[in-house]
Amino acid sequence: MRETAELIERAIEARERAYAPYSGFMVGAALECSDGEVYTGCNIENAAYSPSNCAERTAIFKAVSEGRKDFRRIALVGGKKGEMVAPAPCGMCLQVMAEFCRADEFEVILARSTEEYEVKKLAELLPFRFSL
């Protein structure tokens, strides 16, 4: 497993590619697979608002579309220009994580920097998950 700081660094780099002209809130995600491979994502907004996609889902959909479904953890950073806060994933992204990850094992790293972060289990963030 790579260093947590290294994974957060990948999320910080991904945030640079955020397309967020409407909210100005830029998010980066770095999703680690069981073999250590990392898929990154950023939020991508749209003038019609609803078609916007969060950074977490960008990373997960990139990975799934490349044939991966074995995820260990995801690091997130976000904030407007010049600030960094630790964003909690929205409910839709948590439900997408629940589709592919074991909620009692998968870790969500909410980071403000490579040194300042909190680690939550998906089960803590989404205790009741919809499944069929």
Return the active site residues: 56
> Which of 17, 52, 84, 107 is close enough to bind ligand THU by CB under 6 A?
52
| Distance, CA of 76 to CA of 128 (rounded, Å) | 22
8 A C-beta contact, residue 14 and residue 75? no
Name residue 119's amino acid: V
Paired residues of 39 in beta bridges: 31
> Which of 54, 59, 77, 109 is close enough to bind ligand THU by CB under 6 A?
54
Which residue, 46, 12, 39, is CA-closest to 115? 12
Paired residues of 130 in beta bridges: none
> Which of 17, 25, 33, 107 is close enough to bind ligand THU by CB under 6 A?
25
User: Count residues contacting ligand THU (CB under 6 A)?
Assistant: 14
| Distance, CA of 94 to CA of 57 (rounded, Å) | 9
Instruction: Select 9 or 56, whichever has its Cβ closest to ligand THU.
Output: 56
Q: Check binding of 46 to ligand THU (CB under 6 A).
A: no
Residues that bind ligand THU (CB under 6 A): 20, 23, 25, 27, 43, 45, 52, 54-56, 87, 89-90, 93
